[in-house]
Structures are given as structure tokens and as C-alpha cells.
Structure 1
């Protein structure tokens, strides 16, 4: 799958994508993604990332479900609900794969603490679902779709198709045609909603899209560092 076609030049998504160009370039240059691209990423770091990602997907699915309940268009609600279901199915798949590949028990996985960044990102999406308007919630959700497809496609192209790559399955998940169709549908929905919103709402949407993209940067960075709670040593047990 090649990079997605450009969104309509006069739409919200084209402007949001342009506003985050430097941030997206920085995401591609993160140590995690550079090591993922050349295949040198350690299994320990990748395993930590997968555990955090599985937990993130639960919060992401909740935000999608909330958006589905707030849509007054049956087709849009169906798309959002289906995306929420797909996120939960992916969470289960990641969990099962982690158990199988690394030989860990459910108790051992439960013992991996949710990172500060993972908690912050999911909390942000849940907060948007509770306190923001429907258009702003959609804008906050969109980076997870679009940035992942962008990164997956960039890595696929850099690896010449990822055949035989140690992380081939992950790369192809986010660079394939089915995922791209979902991204296009999400992007079209956000553009449609933004076109029917006032200027103040559209600016709030831009703030939410930027914040979501910033959290994407932080998520990969925190996985590289296997981020822990700096206050853990002060806990009374």
C-alpha cells in the first residue's frame, strides 16, 4: 500500500496534516521507529510496547464507542461502532500473541504496570468523550488512525516490502489496504463534520488533532525507554 492520497485541499484534514508536518517527521525519526525499521529493535522493548498498546486500545475503543452514540448519521455511527469493535478484537489478538510469543502468563502481563504516557493518552481520549463536542472528539481520535498508517507505510517502503523482517506482521498490519480504507473513512468523516462546524469548533478540532499526534510521539518514545513511574520508589506497600 502506498501513502494515502492527499485529502481535499480546502478541508480540515489537509490543514491539520500540514500543521503537524514537523511533528510527524519527528515521529519517524524516533529511536523506536528507526530501530523498528532496521530490525534492530529489541524484543524486550517491543514486548513492552505491545502490552501498553493493548491497554491503550481499550481506551481508544471506548472513545470510538462514545463517538458512535453521539452521531446522528446511521452510516457514521456504524463505522465508529465497527472501529471500536475492531480495536477490542485487536487488543485480544495482541494479548494472545504476547502470551504465546513470550511465554508469559496472564498474571505476569498484569504485573506490567501501565506507563504514565499510556495512562495519560487514554485518559485524554476518555476526557474528550465526556467533555468535548462530537467534532472535537473525532479530531482527537483521528491521529491514531492516520499517524499509524503513515508510519506503517513509511516503514514498509523503507524496508522494500518488509519480507522476512522480524516485525513484518506489525508493519503490514498498518500498511495494508484494509487499514488504509478505514483511515480514509475516518478522514472523510472528520472533514464532513468540520465543514459543518463553526470556526471556533474547528480551531478546537485542530488543538485536539495536534494533542493526539503529540501523544503518538510520546507513546513511541515512552516504549523505547520502557517508561516507569518515577514515584514508584516512594509508594507504601
Structure 2
């Protein structure tokens, strides 16, 4: 399949629209999102990314091409540098909790399981929505907001609408499409499932932050 990504995103368009319509995104865009909710989100995001970068590093080992290996190692390193900087700016230590929310743990555990125990094609598919959806949301907010000069979350928004992040997303898509070109139908179907499930988990992550999700027992 020459452009697997374009095909699979047709199946997840409705999920992306649901994310755009979520009150977390709406309030983030207009700058009215409460400090407590954003702090909860940034806290969980830091816990998520600490596991995500390990998954990227593990996936890099499976790549056949040296350039692909280097890309995912660089992406993992970039997360450490860029995200840590954002978290230092936005995360108040008094809000920090070392325990992942149920949705955070579900998402990171699912990605790790697929990347470590399944084919590299499925691994690439499962980590891709974190790249592509954040880029879509960053671009969407930047294109539709009217308060760029006084939004307290503007630095966060700009990070995911930046040219550097856009280039990283394009590279991740290109690598995944390249592996999909030679994949049999059975593997392509599994890639679709992994991408769709991770996209749903992206929505769940935003929703869990907005509701400050806690373990029920």
C-alpha cells in the first residue's frame, strides 16, 4: 500500500473531530481552561511521555535502516528536551502526582505491548497518533484562535504547531508508509487496528485530563 496513512486516517476522521470538539480543546484554545485541569493534564503528560520515549527507543531497535533507527532515537531525545522544558514552565510541583491515571496507564501500556511484542509495522502504527493528532490539534488551534497574544497556554500551543514538530511528524509518517508498502494484508489490518485504538486513546487522554480522572477504588 503506497500511502497507508492517508487511507487509515479516513477511518479516524470522526475521532479527530471529537477531539477538536472536546471542551478541553475548546477551552485551551480560548484560554479559559482552568489552571487545575491544565496542571492535571501536564502532570499526566509528563508521566505518559516518560513511557512513550522508552517505546520509541525500543521501536528504533527494530528498524532495519540506520536512518530510521536514528530518527526514533532523536525523537525520544527530543521529547526529553522539549517536553521537559514545557513541563518546567507549566507544571507546578505542588500539583505533581507520580501515579498515572487509568487512561494514561492504559495508553502507555497498550503502546508498549504492541511495540515490544508485535511486528514493527504494528509498532509504527501504534505510536503514530501521538505525532499526527498533536500536529492536527496544534494547527487547528492556531488557525482558529483569536487570542494569540494573551492566551496563557500559547507556548504549549506553539510547540505543536511548529515547523520542527511538523517535520518530525512527516518523517514518522514516511517511515510508517514505507513499511506498509511491503506489508501483507493481514499485517495492514493489524496496523489499522493499532492506529485506530491509539487514536481513541488520544481522545480518552484529553477527556481524562478534563475530568481529572482518578482510580475509582
- TM-score calculated relative to the size of structure 2: 0.95
User: Among 44, 63, 70, which residue is 2:36 paired with?
Assistant: 44
Does the CA contact (< 8 Å) of 1:66 and 1:129 recur in 2? yes
Equivalence for 1:3: none
Does the CA contact (< 8 Å) of 1:144 and 1:216 recur in 2? yes
Runs of 4+ in 1 over 4 A off after TM superposition: none
Matched ranges for 1:165-184 at <5 A: 165-184=151-170
Equivalence for 2:112: 126
Deviation at 1:210, TM superposition (A): 0.3
Does the CA contact (< 8 Å) of 1:59 and 1:125 recur in 2? no
Deviation at 1:91, TM superposition (A): 4.2
Matched ranges for 1:156-235 at <5 A: 156-160=142-146, 162-231=148-217
Structure with the greater alpha carbon radius of gyration: 1
Cα RMSD (Å): 1.6
Deviation at 1:154, TM superposition (A): 0.3
Aligned mates of 1:160, 1:95 — CA distance in 2: 25
Aligned length: 217
Per-residue displacement from partner, 1:123-168 (whole Å, max 9, x unpaired)? 1111112211101000000000000000010000111472322211
Does the CA contact (< 8 Å) of 2:86 and 2:156 recur in 1? no
Per-residue displacement from partner, 1:46-70 (whole Å, max 9, x unpaired)? 0000000011001111111011101
Matched ranges for 1:1-237 at <5 A: 10-98=2-90, 102=92, 104=93, 109=96, 111=97, 113-160=99-146, 162-231=148-217
SS in 2 for 1:197: coil
SS in 1 for 2:80: helix
Deviation at 1:119, TM superposition (A): 0.7
Unaligned runs of 5+ in 2: none
Judging changes above 3 Å, is the alpha-carbon distance between structure 1 residues 97 and 55 closer, same or farther for their aligned structure 2 residues?
A: same
- TM-score calculated relative to the size of structure 1: 0.87
SS in 2 for 1:20: helix
Judging changes above 3 Å, is the alpha-carbon distance between structure 1 residues 94 and 172 closer, same or farther for their aligned structure 2 residues?
A: closer
Does the CA contact (< 8 Å) of 2:2 and 2:178 recur in 1? no
Worse-superposed segment, 86-95 or 74-83 = 86-95
